[in-house]
Amino acid sequence: MSSFSGNLLVAQSGGPTPVINASLAGVIAEALNHEDEIVEILGGLNGIQGILHEQLIDLAEESQQTLRNLEHTPGAALGTCRYKVKKQEDFDRILQVFEAHNIRYFHYIGGNDSQDTAAKIDALAKERGYELRVIGVPKTIDNDLPLTDHCPGYGSVAKHIALTVREMSLDNAAMGRNDFVSVLEVMGRNAGWLAAASVLAQRQDKRDDSKNAAKNTHYSCSAPHIVLLPEVPFNADNFIRRVEEVLKTNLHCFVVVSEGVQDEAGNFLGADTTNTDAFGHAVLGGAGEYLRTLVEERFSGVKARASKLGIAQRAASHSASKTDVEEAKLCGREAVKAAVKGESGKMVIMSRTGKEQYGVETLLAPLADIANGVKAFPEKWIGEDKMSIHPDFARYALPLIQGELQLPYEQGLPRYAELSKKRVQRKLEAYPTA
Amino acid sequence: MSSFSGNLLVAQSGGPTPVINASLAGVIAEALNHEDEIVEILGGLNGIQGILHEQLIDLAEESQQTLRNLEHTPGAALGTCRYKVKKQEDFDRILQVFEAHNIRYFHYIGGNDSQDTAAKIDALAKERGYELRVIGVPKTIDNDLPLTDHCPGYGSVAKHIALTVREMSLDNAAMGRNDFVSVLEVMGRNAGWLAAASVLAQRQDKRDDSKNAAKNTHYSCSAPHIVLLPEVPFNADNFIRRVEEVLKTNLHCFVVVSEGVQDEAGNFLGADTTNTDAFGHAVLGGAGEYLRTLVEERFSGVKARASKLGIAQRAASHSASKTDVEEAKLCGREAVKAAVKGESGKMVIMSRTGKEQYGVETLLAPLADIANGVKAFPEKWIGEDKMSIHPDFARYALPLIQGELQLPYEQGLPRYAELSKKRVQRKLEAYPTA
């Protein structure tokens, strides 16, 4: 049928998500459907950095069992990197590796930096007349990629955060006597999508029971009572006033804070620049710990506790959203389908379908348009008081956290996949740099 | 049949656990089986503090649906307290409340402080000739109560910690190039049982593959590579040396630290007494944050990240151990059975049965013997290097984390119970103090 055939290379980049391996599983599963066009299915270890060093594995060697478990395994099974390709030398080398291994399909699962790299590889291949199809697969828990309705990875971490807030708030309510403040620090360096997701823990009747709910969420609803986003400069006095208000009517006050919140001078919370360690580095206690200390300083008789989920939140596959896992896999599949159809230089994006019932369709967007944008949390969904979230956001986010996986457990813990990583023989000289 | 009958009062105390409500559900379920002996089933709000203020609710008013969901609901549904009854006046008042409401059965679900209070109430009732049966129900995630093989609450938090380590370590391994240190701070102010449980994340083949496994766990096994217990004084140089060793052979080094670890001078890690805030309080960054900073100071080119689960770990009912939930409920049931049989002044404890297959039987131990002991993590299970755990511990702990619950989910999150809390009419004057 097709006159164009060759090998497929897939790699992962940036911070892992609970579903980046589901996207990988989607790429592999779909590639197996196109044996006329796709000869071998190779994995690049450690993202573009491993590709430079010709660290390739043969994914066809992995067992069916491994591929099945891969769909719900946290981390990035191929390894990942934060290396940013800049030098022309690096790009030349990448194309050399592709030629040596007859790579004709390249799928990079990652965020905007990674898609930027993919765009440049695509452009270089076109310039050199090397026939290559590059289709990116979106990934980021931060949900800040442009053009797509949302990003694979976001729904699962949003679900884990909402779940954690709901559970912790039951504990806090049992402990508090209008004198307990609980602070949960969540990820999100530049955008508040993850912090905002904490409001999904609120009971829906509470969320919707007022025409003016955004105004009221901080005291009339269940936790969280205060949500601090990187989009809003932090003002300590306003914050303390709000905590005081909440504690008047609530047993406890639940605060969710993005790690990326900055004060009005542009300093990250908890980044005390006057407090440096022996080597002169600023000691960063983190935003949550900062707020805990602030509350205990400003109120006498109020106890405050801080939790910081850190990497645990983006690795929590055991509480993944089934919707997210399925969409992540879909994006992987659709990337391969598009490449086989002859598309290149694009990334798969999702568009929401249907008014009544949630659904998505996939489309393609130019890689170059993805590479340079960041989608901040929209102002229309920030409550009037700048410390709460408008109920319309929940209508957007709630479908993304639906559904639970039934993980296989073994000895009390989930069974996760580990790739056997059978190496493909090198064909080039070692690459000295990177 | 029985000539002794009256009302039952149950209350919860201390920090909540994922299964303290399962014990409450056990008490209620069993009490319903004894209608000749037990007339009304009352709940005391906010532990002994609420009882002093006659804050009682009628548990018979709760729906079957609520009681079913209560078994897997985090927090403490009745509310809890950390109030320690000391004054004779308080004890007199408690007995007054009991008399006013014809309380003849009292079940306090809590740790050693709570059982101490229960013991004193029992003694006072005997002294005054007030017929009362007091049977305690054990509860603590710290697993440090004496006499019992283990404590309800421990298994679920142990499972959540092991699960978190397994998930995070997959993420870390994908990111690390022998240059990444991940620190997870877990609860355990006085005893290292929870930190130790992190080794259940290690693959069993790795754990048992050496005759000298305790010596080798820090580098030959999967995460965690280093476990720091409150039982072992912290030495920064030894710690740094061990991190260096681990990073020689591992992509990443995973450190689990108890919040209660102290240095050789007896200071909590991260409690920098020279660094005080505006009000002169010591700023406590926490043990995990301290280690993160230490690693980044001592190694150049090594990235470190800290996570602190905080209250999230003891509220994580969604990942509770089924074994733990069932045992917590059993302890509640057995407390009522013992009281109906005429026992008093005792707490239910668990004893392990069978060599081949795990099982427990319940026994009774005098409250006074529980009240004053703390069971430290046994020295025989601390590895030779003082930073690892002997494999025999896993044989003890593994049965406790077995089994998963199938929680009811609603809109993407678990449905948890909330008591309707129908108040019992007060019969006494208000109590001025406490």
Give the range of the structural domain holding residue A254, as residue numbers without chain letter. Answer: 154-315
Query: Taking a C-beta distance cutoff of 8 angstroms, is the pair A414, A408 a contact?
Result: yes
Co-location of B69 and B169 in the same domain: no
Distances (CA, A) of B113 to B93, B120, B258, B322, B374: 19, 11, 22, 27, 11
Assess whether A190 and A325 both reside in one domain: no
Give the H/E segment covering residue B239. helix B236-249
Q: Choosing among B139, B178, B269, B311, which should be mutated to test the A contact, i.e. which has the most A CBs within 10 A?
A: B311
The dihedral over CA atoms of A58, A59, A60, A63, expressed in degrees to the nearest 10, equals 120
Same domain, B302 and B333: no
Tokens of B329: 């409920």
Per-residue b/e over B148-182, b at no fewer than 16 CB within 10 Å? bbbbbbbbbbbbbbbbbbbbbbbbbbbbbeebbbb
Q: CB neighbours (10 Å) of residue A124?
A: 16
Q: A297 and B278: CB-CB below 8 Å?
A: yes
* Residues in chain B closer than 8 A to A200 (CB atoms): 412-413
Same domain (yes/no): B259, B338: no
Residues A180 and A199 in one domain: yes
Residue B145 covered by a domain: no
Each residue's pLDDT, cut to its tens digit, for chain B (434 residues) gives 457 899 999 999 999 999 999 999 999 999 999 999 999 999 999 999 999 999 999 999 999 999 999 999 999 999 999 888 889 999 999 999 999 999 999 999 999 899 999 999 999 999 999 999 999 999 999 999 999 999 999 999 999 999 999 999 999 999 999 999 999 999 998 899 999 999 999 976 555 444 443 333 333 348 999 999 999 999 999 999 999 999 999 999 999 999 999 999 999 998 755 545 444 444 456 899 999 999 999 999 999 999 999 999 999 999 999 999 999 999 999 999 999 999 999 999 999 997 789 999 999 999 999 987 889 999 999 999 999 999 999 999 999 999 999 999 999 999 999 999 999 999 999 998 76
pLDDT per position as a tens digit, A260-289: 999 999 999 987 555 554 444 444 568 999
Which residues, listed in sequence order, are joined to residue A56 by a DSSP beta bridge? A44
- Chain B contact set for A80 (CB, 8 A): 174-175
Of A293, A315, A337, the last residue of a domain is A315
**pLDDT on residue A82:** 80
Active-site annotation holds for B142: yes
pLDDT reported for residue B273: 52
Q: Give tens-digit pLDDT for B331-345.
A: 999 999 999 999 999
Distances (CA, A) of B425 to A20, B57, B97: 57, 9, 12
Distance, CA of A214 to CA of B73 (rounded, Å)? 28
Note the pTM of the prediction, 2 decimals: 0.95
Instruction: Point out the residue among B398, B404, B414 whose CB comes nearest to the CB of A409.
Output: B404
CATH number at residue A199: 3.40.50.460
- List chain A residues with CB under 8 Å of B167: 74-75, 312, 315-318, 414, 416
Q: Which of B78, B81, B413 to mutate to test the interface with A (most CBs of A within 10 A)?
A: B413
**Cα–Cα distances in Å, from A310 out to A416, A421, B222, B305?**
20, 28, 20, 8
Min Cα distance B412 → chain A (Å) is 4
Q: Nearest residue of B to residue A289 by CA position?
A: B285
* A203-248: pLDDT as tens digits: 765 554 444 433 333 333 489 999 999 999 999 999 999 999 999 9
Asked if B120 and B87 touch (Cβ cutoff 8 Å), the reply is: no
ipTM here: 0.94
Q: Measure the N-to-C terminal CA separation of chain A; round to a whole number of Å.
A: 40
Claim to verify: residue A304 and residue A168 sit in the same structural domain:
yes
Residue B83 lies in a domain: yes
The torsion defined by the Cα of A353, A356, A358 and A359, in degrees rounded to 10, comes to -40
Q: Strand A6-12 and strand A103-110: pairing?
A: parallel
Same domain assignment for residues A36 and A122: yes
Chain B CB contacts of A296 below 8 Å: 281
Q: B326 and B308 in one domain? A: no
Under 8 Å between Cβ of A340 and A416: no
Please tell me the predicted confidence (pLDDT) of residue A205.
Answer: 58
- Last residue of one domain, picked from the residues A315, A333, A349: A315
Pairwise CA distance, residues A206 & A190, whole Å: 29
Q: Which of A48, A308, A418 to mutate to test the interface with B (most CBs of B within 10 A)?
A: A308
What's residue B84's pLDDT? 84
**Shortest CB distance from B307 goes to which of A162, A275, A311?**
A311
Same domain, A192 and A134: no
Do both A111 and A28 map to the same domain? Answer: yes
Please report which helix (H) or strand (E) contains residue B227, including its range.
strand B226-228
- Please indicate whether, in this complex, the C-beta atoms of A281 and B296 are within 8 angstroms of each other: yes
Please give the pLDDT value at position A156.
Answer: 98
Is A395 contained in some domain?
A: no
Q: Dig out the tokens for B80 from the structure.
A: 């809890």
Confidence at residue A27, expressed as pLDDT on a 0 to 100 scale: 98
Using the predicted structure, report yes or no on whether residue A179 has a pLDDT greater than 60: yes
Residues B162 and B309 in one domain: yes
Closest in A307, A314, A413 to B166, CB measured: A413
- Given an 8 Å threshold on Cβ–Cβ distance, is A312 in contact with B309? yes
Nearest to A10 by CA among A83, A87, A107, A99: A107
- C-beta separation of B316 from B160 below 8 A: yes
Distance CA B417, CA B24 (A): 12
Residues A237 and A351 in one domain: no
Q: Which of B299, B315, B331 is the last residue of a domain?
A: B315
